[in-house]
C-alpha cells in the first residue's frame, strides 16, 4: 500500500503526456484538413471560372497560365493529403500500441481480481472474520485487523472500478481506431483521383508547352508587353503617392529640400494607420471570391523561365461583374486614369495606401470616405478571353508590401 502514491503519480504523468501528444496530433490533423479543404475550394473556384469562360477564344499564353496554376494547386493538394494520411498512420500505430498495452493491463487486473475473489470467498464467512479478530493478542492488533479488513474490501472495490474504466477506455480507443482507418482509406481514394487528374493536366501542359516552344519569341514578347504595362501602372501609382507625401510634408511646414519619404500624418491619420496595422493578416479580400494567379515579388515567368516578372502586388482572378471592396476604412485619394489600360482606385489609410487596378466601373470619387468592405467599383472583364482580373497592391508610404501578409488567408 505504501507504493500507491508513487504508482498514482507515474500513471498521471504518463496519462498527461499521452493526452498532450494526442491533442497535438489532433490539432495538426485539423490544420491539415483545413488546408486541404482550402485547396479543394481553390480548385473548384478555378474550375468554375474556366467553365464560365469556356466559350471565349483564349490565347495559348492564357491557357498555359491557367493550367500552370491548376497543376500547382493540385500538387499542393496531393502533398497535404499525403501528410494527412501519414499523420493518420502514426496515430493508428499509436492507438494500436495503446490497445495492446491496455489489453495486457486489463488481463492483469482481471487475473488479480479473480485471485482476490477466490481468497475472499475462502474467508468470507462472518465466523472466519470473527475468529480472525478474536485471535488477536491485544486490542491494538484487533484494531489493525479491522482496518485491514476494511482496506481489503475497499481495494477490491477499486480493482473492480479499474477494470470497468480500462474496459471503457479500450472501447473508446477501438472506436477511434476504426474511424481513423476509415478516414485514411478515404484520403487514399481521394488522392488517387487527384493524381489521375494531375496526370491529365500534365499531359495537356506538355502539349501546350510544345506548341509554345515552337515560337518562344512571340510569347516572350507578349509576356514582356504585359510586364511593361504593369510597370507603367506601378510607376504612376508610386509617383502619385510620392506627390501625396510631398504635399503632406508641405502642409506641416517641412521644406521640399528635406525630401522626406514618410507621409506627414495628422492625429486622425495616426489613429487610422495604427488601426490598419493592428488588422494586419485579418483584412478582407478586395473581392468576395477569387484566386491569386500572380503573387508578390520577383519571380520567373511560368511560361518562359528566362524572363523575370516583378510583381509589386497580387493578381486575383475572379468572376465576371465581381464587385471590388475597400479592404479597410480610408479616403479615396485618387482615381487614376490609364491611356492603354483600365482605371485604378487609390485609397489612403493614414500613411498606408491600397491600390485597386483594372476596374471596369467605379462607384466612388476623389475625397470620398470609405469603410471596410464598401463596394468601390467593378472588375473589368476582358472580352477577348473572358478573364476578370484585379490587380491589388499595398503601400507603406511609397514602398510596396506583400498583400498576402495583410489579407486574411491569402
pLDDT at 148 over 70: no
pLDDT at 19 over 50: yes
Q: What is the mean pLDDT of residues 5-17?
A: 46
Give residue for cell 472466519: 128
The secondary structure element, H or E, covering residue 351 is none
Supply the pTM of this predicted model. Answer: 0.71
Q: What is the pLDDT of residue 3?
A: 46
| Percent with pLDDT over 90 in the chain | 49
28-37, 96-105, 138-147, 204-213: which range is least confident on average?
138-147
Taking the C-alpha atoms of residue 390 and residue 226, their distance in angstroms, rounded to an integer, is 14
Taking the C-alpha atoms of residue 316 and residue 98, their distance in angstroms, rounded to an integer, is 48
Q: Name the band, by pLDDT with cuts 50, 70 and 90, for residue 27.
A: confident
CA torsion sign for 29, 35, 38, 44 is negative
pLDDT at 226 over 60: yes
pLDDT at 232 over 50: yes
Taking the C-alpha atoms of residue 141 and residue 151, their distance in angstroms, rounded to an integer, is 15
| 56 vs 205, more confident | 205
* Contacts within 8 Å (CB) and 24+ apart, 158-162: 159/109, 159/112, 159/113, 159/116, 160/113, 162/109
| Percent with pLDDT over 70 in the chain | 83
Q: Are 102 and 78 in contact (CB under 8 A)?
A: no
The secondary structure element, H or E, covering residue 393 is strand 388-396
| 27 vs 115, more confident | 27
What are 321-344's pLDDT values in tens digits? Answer: 999 999 999 999 999 997 778 999
The secondary structure element, H or E, covering residue 331 is strand 330-336
Calculate helix-pair angle for 216-251, 60-122, nearest 10 degrees: 80
Q: What is the pLDDT of residue 119?
A: 63
Torsions phi, psi for 140 (to 5 deg): -60, -40
Q: Are 398 and 261 in contact (CB under 8 A)?
A: yes
Taking the C-alpha atoms of residue 190 and residue 250, their distance in angstroms, rounded to an integer, is 62
pLDDT at 10 over 60: no
What are 374-385's pLDDT values in tens digits? Answer: 999 999 998 888
Q: What is the mean pLDDT of the chain?
A: 84
pLDDT at 6 over 50: no
What are 168-187's pLDDT values in tens digits? Answer: 777 888 888 888 899 999 99
Query: Residue 378, Cβ neighbours under 10 Å: how many?
Result: 19
Q: What is the pLDDT of residue 263?
A: 94
Q: What is the pLDDT of residue 1?
A: 43
Distance of CA 349 to the CA centre of its chain: 27
Taking the C-alpha atoms of residue 172 and residue 10, their distance in angstroms, rounded to an integer, is 22
Q: What is the pLDDT of residue 96?
A: 83
Domain architecture of the chain: domains with CATH: 4-213 (1.10.287), 226-405 (2.70.70.10)
Query: Residue 373, Cβ neighbours under 10 Å: how many?
Result: 15
Taking the C-alpha atoms of residue 343 and residue 240, their distance in angstroms, rounded to an integer, is 14
Q: CA triplet 123, 129, 133: central angle to 5 degrees?
A: 140
Q: Are 304 and 326 in contact (CB under 8 A)?
A: no
8-22, 220-234, 252-266, 396-410: which range is least confident on average?
8-22
The grid coordinates of residue 48 equal: 468554375
Amino acid at each position: 500500500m505504501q507504493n500507491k502514491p508513487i504508482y498514482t503519480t507515474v500513471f498521471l504523468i504518463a496519462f498527461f503526456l499521452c493526452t498532450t501528444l494526442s491533442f497535438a496530433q489532433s490539432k495538426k490533423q485539423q490544420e491539415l484538413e483545413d488546408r486541404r479543404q482550402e485547396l479543394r475550394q481553390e480548385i473548384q473556384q478555378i474550375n468554375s471560372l474556366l467553365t464560365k469562360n469556356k466559350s471565349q477564344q483564349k490565347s495559348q499564353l492564357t491557357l498555359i497560365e491557367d493550367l500552370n496554376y491548376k497543376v500547382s494547386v493540385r500538387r499542393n493538394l496531393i502533398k497535404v493529403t499525403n501528410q494527412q494520411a501519414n499523420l493518420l498512420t502514426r496515430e493508428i500505430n499509436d492507438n494500436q500500441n495503446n490497445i495492446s498495452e491496455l489489453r495486457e493491463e486489463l488481463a492483469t487486473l482481471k487475473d488479480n481480481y479473480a485471485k482476490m475473489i477466490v481468497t475472499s470467498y475462502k474467508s468470507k464467512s462472518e465466523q472466519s472474520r470473527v475468529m480472525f479478530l478474536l485471535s488477536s493478542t491485544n486490542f491494538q492488533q484487533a484494531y489493525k485487523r479491522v482496518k485491514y479488513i476494511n482496506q481489503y474490501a475497499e481495494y477490491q472495490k477499486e480493482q473492480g472500478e479499474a477494470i470497468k474504466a480500462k474496459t471503457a477506455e479500450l472501447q473508446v480507443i477501438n472506436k477511434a481506431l476504426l474511424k481513423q482507418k476509415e478516414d485514411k482509406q478515404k484520403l487514399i481514394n481521394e488522392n488517387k483521383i487527384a493524381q489521375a487528374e494531375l496526370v491529365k493536366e500534365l499531359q495537356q501542359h506538355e502539349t501546350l508547352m510544345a506548341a509554345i516552344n515552337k515560337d518562344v519569341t512571340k510569347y516572350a514578347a507578349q509576356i514582356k508587353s504585359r510586364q511593361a504595362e504593369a510597370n507603367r501602372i506601378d510607376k504612376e501609382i508610386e509617383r502619385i503617392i510620392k506627390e501625396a507625401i510631398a504635399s503632406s510634408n508641405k502642409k506641416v511646414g517641412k521644406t521640399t529640400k528635406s525630401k522626406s519619404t514618410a507621409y506627414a500624418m495628422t492625429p486622425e491619420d495616426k489613429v487610422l494607420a495604427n488601426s490598419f496595422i493592428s488588422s494586419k493578416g485579418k483584412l478582407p479580400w478586395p473581392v468576395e471570391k477569387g484566386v491569386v494567379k500572380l503573387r508578390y515579388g520577383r519571380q520567373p515567368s511560368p511560361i518562359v523561365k528566362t524572363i523575370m516578372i516583378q510583381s509589386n502586388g497580387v493578381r486575383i482572378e475572379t468572376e465576371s461583374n465581381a464587385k471590388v471592396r475597400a479592404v479597410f476604412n480610408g479616403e479615396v485619394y485618387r482615381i487614376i486614369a490609364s491611356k492603354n489600360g483600365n482605371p485604378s482606385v487609390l485609397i489612403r489609410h493614414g500613411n498606408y495606401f491600397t491600390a485597386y487596378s483594372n476596374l471596369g466601373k467605379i462607384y466612388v470619387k476623389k475625397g470620398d470616405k470609405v469603410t471596410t468592405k464598401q463596394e468601390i467599383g467593378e472588375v473589368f472583364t476582358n472580352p477577348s478571353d473572358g478573364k476578370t482580373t484585379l490587380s491589388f497592391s499595398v503601400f507603406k508610404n511609397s514602398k510596396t508590401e506583400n498583400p498576402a501578409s495583410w489579407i486574411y488567408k491569402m
